[in-house]
Chain A
C-alpha cells in the first residue's frame, strides 16, 4: 500500500486508524484528569475523616441503579458499533436510541442526587468533601452529557441518510470508545467513593 493510499483510508504507518489512535490517546489523558480528581477526593477524605459523614446522605440503591444503567448503556453501545460494522443501520439506530435513553436516565439520577444533597446541606462550599465530591462527580456528569449530545447528533446524521456503514463505522467506534470510558470512570467512582464508605 502506498503512503498516499494509506492516508486515504485513515491509517498511518503503524496500521492503526488515526481517529481511533487519537481517541485512545485522549482517553489516556482523560484517565490522568479523572485520576487527579479521584485522588484528591480520596486523599482529603483520609486527611479529614470526621469532616463529613456521607453514609447518612448516600443512597446505595440509587447509585447501584445508576451504575447498572450505565453498564447496560455500554452493552447497547457495543451492539451499536457491531451493528454498524455489519451494515445494519436500523439495528444501529435502535441501539443508539437505547444508549441515549439510558444516558439521560443516569443524568436524571445525578440531578436528583445533587438536588437531594444540596437540600440536606452538602454544597460545593461545604468543606473539602463537598468541593471534591461535586467537582469529581460533576465532571463525570458533564462527560456523560457530552456523550449524549454526541450520540444524538450521530443519530440525526444517520437519519439524514448521509451515513454509510463502510465509511462511518470508525466514527461510531470512536464515539463508542468515549462512551465506554465514561462507564469505566463510573465503575471506579462507584467503588472508591460510594461503596467503600459503607464498609465497617
Chain B
C-alpha cells in the first residue's frame, strides 16, 4: 500500500515538473514566433535572415516534438519510428533539389504556364 502511495506521489511530482516545462516552452514558442515576424522586415543580408529563420523553425520543431510530444520521456524506439519518416521526407526534398533544382531544368510544357 505504501509502495503504491510512493509511486503515485512520484508520478504526480513528475507530472507537475512537466507542467512548468510546458509553460516555459509555450512562452518561448510564442516569443520565437514574434521574433520571426519581426526578422523578415529587418534590413539584414537575406542569407543571414534565412539561416536564422531555419534555425528558429528547427528550434520550435524540436521543442514541440521533444517536450509536448514527450519524446524525451519515451523509449528510443519511438524516436526511431518518427525519425525514419522525417529522414525520408528531408531526403525526398534534397533528392528533388538535386534533380530539378538546377537552372538548366525548367519544363515549359506544363499546362497552365
Contacts and interface: CB of A to CB of B under 8 A. Distances in A.
A30 B82 CA distance: 9
Contact of A180 (B26, B68, B84): B68
Nearest to B99: A43
Interface residues on B, range: 35 or more
A34 B86 CA distance: 10
A21 B88 contact: no
Interface stretch (A74-82, A107-115, A133-141, A143-151): A74-82
Interface residues of A, number: 62
B92 A20 contact: no
A171 to B, nearest CB: 15
Contacts of B110: 128
Contacts of B64: 71, 74, 180, 183-184, 187
Contact of A82 (B18, B40, B82, B112): B18
Contacts of B46: 199-200
Interface in B90-113: 90, 92-93, 96-97, 100-101, 105-107, 110, 112-113
Interface of B: 11-12, 15, 18-19, 22-23, 25-26, 29-30, 33-34, 36-37, 39-41, 46, 49-50, 53-54, 56-57, 60-61, 64-65, 67-70, 74-75, 77-78, 81-86, 88-90, 92-93, 96-97, 100-101, 105-107, 110, 112-113
